[in-house]
Structure formats: structure tokens, C-alpha cells
Amino acid sequence: MNELLLIHDTEAVRVVTMNRPDKRNALNTALTRSLLDALRAADADDAVRCVVLTGAGPGFCAGADLAEFKDLVPEFQHRVDERAELTMQLHLAFPKMAKPVVTAINGAAMGGGAGLAIAGDLAVMAADAKLGYPETRHGIVAALVMANLVRQTGRKRAFELVSLGEPLTSRQALAFGLVNRVVPDAELMSEAMALAEKLTAINALALKATKQLFHEVADLPLEEALKRGRETNKRMRAFRKP
């Protein structure tokens, strides 16, 4: 797509690598927009069955690029509004995609980077990587990443993370249920690709419906969730193996 992202396909798996290693892949507006566009493009590409998201260099993603904060002030409210909307759309893209996303957390994932790390459907974390929400230490709030965090771990744990701002080790992240696997650093991409390849072997219609229903029922009352499941149950009778 551009120098901010490295994109390549391995059969039906698209690997998207954030490419600002000198900035620990911090999310400036350009990278945020490019990543959103890349996810949408992958979802629209019939040749792609799964996406793996990772970072170049020693870090996964350091979160928002603080260098842009000088322009995100009340005097430039339109810029504040535009950036907040862009960030929200990026995090919404993951559950809205029909295709699964595996995050390969190769290094520190902080703030908005932690939000990206757990936004995928599956997450593999390098043993030496860390994950945290240090926003309060900078006098700000882990605002747009908080909703997904609360949904993925218990309230007490989530509040500890967003209030104290202390990072988790990979083993702690695994215990908190924020990642699926912790592997030696050298095995990170091979493990992430192995998961992605397993996903590509699954019936595409069944996987799409599974992901859609999963996100629909996660926060619904039981009766409404069962009704959604009933409708999917009826639709899946029309599925055909590829």
C-alpha cells in the first residue's frame, strides 16, 4: 500500500506489517488511515481468507504518536474530531470484517497499540513482549481502547490496567485472557501463520457466519442472543463445502 505498511500474501493469508520501526510503529494519522484501508481491502479481496497483523522492528505498536498531540487541542477541534473518528473506525473494522485477523505481537504493545493487539480474533504474543495501557501516566485516558478491553477481561482487571498503567508480561496477558498463545520470540510468526493457515482451511461461509454471530451475541441478553443463533442455525443449512 505504501511505506507505512508492508503487505504480502502467502497463499490465502495476507500479512500486514506496520512499518514505522524507528517510532515503535506509533500510530500517526497516516498510519492509522493506511491500516484501516488495508484491513478493508483485505476483507474485500476474494483471494484473502485470513489476515495476520504485526509490527516491524522491536515493537508491535507504541500507541498514538505523541508528536501529533500538539495539533490535537481544543483550538483545532475539527482535527480532534477527525482523529477520534478515524481511530474509532479502525477498532470497529476488526469485528466488522468477515475474515479473521490474527495479531502477532512481536514486541511492546502500548495504549492504542495494546488495543490493536487484542482487537484481532486470535492473538499470538512473543514471550519477551509486553502489553499495557499507560495513558493515565501521560495525563490522558485509554478512551477508545477501553470498550474492547472491558469485554475481553474482567472489570477489576480492566480497571487495574487502565488506571495504574502498569504493563503486563506475556504470561500475565495470557492469564488475563487477552492472548491465545505465548511463544518464544523466534517462533512468533511461524505460530501466527500456522493459526492463520488453519483458519483458511475452514469453510469460508461457516467461518464468516461464526465470526458475525460471535460479535453479535457477545453483549446481548440471553434470549436475544439465542434468537440470533436460531436465525444463523437456519441459514447455515444452505452452506456448501468449497
What CATH number is attached to the domain comprising 178?
Answer: 3.90.226.10
CA distances from 210 to 194, 215, 220, 230, 237 (A): 20, 9, 16, 13, 14
pLDDT digits (tens, 9 = 90+) for 62-108: 998 877 766 655 665 666 678 889 999 999 999 999 999 999 999 99
Question: Would you name the residues annotated as active-site residues?
Answer: 135
What is the pLDDT, as a whole number, of residue 98?
Answer: 96
How many domains does the chain fold into? 2
Residues 223 and 138 in one domain: no
What is the pLDDT, as a whole number, of residue 236?
Answer: 80
- Alpha-carbon span 40 to 48, nearest angstrom: 11
DSSP state, residue 60: S
The answer to whether residues 117 and 105 touch, using CB atoms and an 8 Å cutoff, is yes
The answer to whether residues 69 and 91 touch, using CB atoms and an 8 Å cutoff, is no
Residues 180 and 159 in one domain: yes
What is the pLDDT, as a whole number, of residue 81?
Answer: 78
Domain of 152 in residue numbering reads as 5-199
User: Cell numbers at residue 175, please?
Assistant: 492469564
Residues 49 and 152 in one domain: yes
Residues 148 and 220 in one domain: no
Residues 102 and 21 in one domain: yes
Residue at 220: amino acid letter: L
Which among 106, 110, 130 is positioned nearest to 54, based on CA atoms?
Answer: 106
- Alpha-carbon span 13 to 36, nearest angstrom: 17
What is the pLDDT, as a whole number, of residue 241?
Answer: 54
Residues 103 and 207 in one domain: no
Three-state DSSP class for residue 7: strand
Range list of H helices, the chain: 29-44, 77-96, 112-119, 143-152, 155-164, 170-175, 188-200, 204-217, 222-235
- Alpha-carbon span 25 to 9, nearest angstrom: 21
Residues 50 and 105 in one domain: yes
- Quote the distance between the C-alpha of residue 108 and its chain's center: 14
What is the pLDDT, as a whole number, of residue 1?
Answer: 44
- Alpha-carbon span 240 to 242, nearest angstrom: 6
Residues 13 and 99 in one domain: yes
Residues 109 and 217 in one domain: no
Residues 34 and 100 in one domain: yes
DSSP state, residue 14: E
What is the pLDDT, as a whole number, of residue 7?
Answer: 97
- Quote the distance between the C-alpha of residue 8 and its chain's center: 18
Residues 47 and 86 in one domain: yes
What is the pLDDT, as a whole number, of residue 121?
Answer: 98
**Residue 44: exposed, middle, or buried by beta-carbon count in 10 A (0-12, 13-18, 19+)?**
exposed
Q: What are phi and psi of 182, to 5 degrees?
A: -125, 125
Residues 42 and 117 in one domain: yes
Q: How do the pLDDT tens digits run along the chain, 242 residues long?
A: 459 999 999 999 999 999 999 999 999 999 999 999 999 999 999 999 999 999 999 999 999 887 776 665 566 566 667 888 999 999 999 999 999 999 999 999 999 999 999 999 999 999 999 999 999 998 889 999 999 999 999 899 999 999 999 999 999 999 999 999 999 999 999 999 999 999 999 999 999 999 999 999 988 888 999 998 998 888 887 676 54
